[in-house]
């Protein structure tokens, strides 16, 4: 299974990514987590990424693409992977197409979690209290929603046109949402 989990910041992607990937026995690859790990350990990549992340902007495509290419070349990702937070721009979609084609495989599904915008801001402000992420201040939260709408929402139509898109209601208890995602993916696997 090679799949993407998409959704606006605060839709619960990270939580769902881990459950879904576990169930399919594939790694959940979160670009945000990889960037944060690099920021914590003070690598050059982390230093570069941090200034964009703190402002709620996207890290440049070349940097992000290179990082994902290296990650999906690792042995655990050979049988499949779930991408959480990538691709986020049309240029990243093209890059990912190239990476997957190179391995002789294809993308199986793109799941989009849908949540209404007011709910999202509330969830993010809550997360700011519990996790204390540097990019969870109100201004940055709003900027991240704008960037998502401008740069990432257009990807939904691209994947819909390819018949890969599965929209899942992201509102509700965590395990309810997980079950909805499984049900939708099981239908894909059997078709």
Q: Which residues are catalytic?
A: 13, 88, 127, 133, 144
By beta-carbon proximity to ligand AMP, the closer residue of 48 and 179 is 48
Which residue in the set 7, 8, 9, 27 belongs to the binding site for ligand AMP (CB under 6 A)?
Answer: 9
Nearer to ligand AMP, 16 or 92 (CB): 92
Nearer to ligand AMP, 15 or 186 (CB): 15
Q: Residues 127, 88, 37, 21: is their CA dihedral positive or negative?
A: positive
Q: Measured between alpha carbons, how far is 62 from 66 in angstroms, rounded to an integer? A: 6
Structure tokens at 172: 């509700």
Pairing mode of beta strands 28-30, 165-169? unpaired
Of residues 36-95, those binding ligand AMP (CB under 6 A):
52-53, 56, 58-59, 64, 85-86, 88, 92
Measured CA to CA, the distance from residue 178 to residue 191 in angstroms comes to 20
**Closest CB 31 distance from ligand AMP, rounded Å:** 3
Angle between helices 44-55 and 61-72 (to 10 degrees): 120
| Residues 108-147 within binding reach of ligand AMP (CB under 6 A) | 135, 144
Instruction: Please choose, out of 15-23, 29-37, 107-115, 168-176, the segment that lies near ligand AMP by the rule CB under 6 A.
Output: 29-37
For residues 189, 67, 14, 170, the Cα torsion angle rounded to the nearest 10 degrees is -60
Size of the site for ligand AMP (CB under 6 A): 16
Structure tokens at 77: 């990702």
Instruction: Confirm or reject binding of residue 96 to ligand AMP (CB under 6 A).
Output: no
CB of 151 to ligand AMP, least distance (A): 9
| Site map 147..186 versus ligand AMP, x via CB under 6 A | ----------------------------------------
**Distance separating alpha carbons of residues 125 and 145, to the nearest angstrom:** 13
The 3-state DSSP class for residue 3 equals: strand
Closest CA to 178 of 19, 24, 30: 19
**Binding residues vs ligand AMP (CB under 6 A):** 9, 31-32, 35, 52-53, 56, 58-59, 64, 85-86, 88, 92, 135, 144
């Amino acid at each position: 299974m090679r799949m993407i989990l998409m959704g606006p910041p605060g839709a619960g992607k990270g939580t769902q990514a881990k459950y879904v990937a576990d169930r399919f026995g594939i790694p959940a690859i979160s670009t945000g987590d990889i960037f944060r790990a690099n920021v914590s350990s003070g690598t050059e990549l982390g230093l570069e990424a941090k200034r964009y992340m703190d402002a709620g902007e996207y890290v440049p495509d070349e940097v992000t693409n290179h990082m994902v290419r290296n990650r999906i070349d690792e042995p655990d990702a050979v049988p499949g992977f779930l991408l959480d937070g990538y691709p986020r721009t049309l240029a990243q979609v093209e890059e990912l197409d190239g990476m997957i084609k190179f391995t002789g495989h294809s993308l199986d599904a793109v799941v989009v979690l849908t949540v209404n915008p007011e709910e999202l801001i509330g969830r993010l402000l809550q997360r700011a209290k519990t996790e204390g992420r540097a990019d969870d201040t109100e201004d940055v939260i709003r900027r991240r929603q704008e960037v998502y709408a401008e740069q990432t929402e257009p990807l939904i139509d691209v994947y819909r046109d390819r018949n890969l898109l599965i929209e899942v209601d992201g509102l509700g208890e965590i395990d309810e949402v997980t079950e909805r995602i499984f049900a939708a993916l099981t239908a894909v696997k059997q078709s």
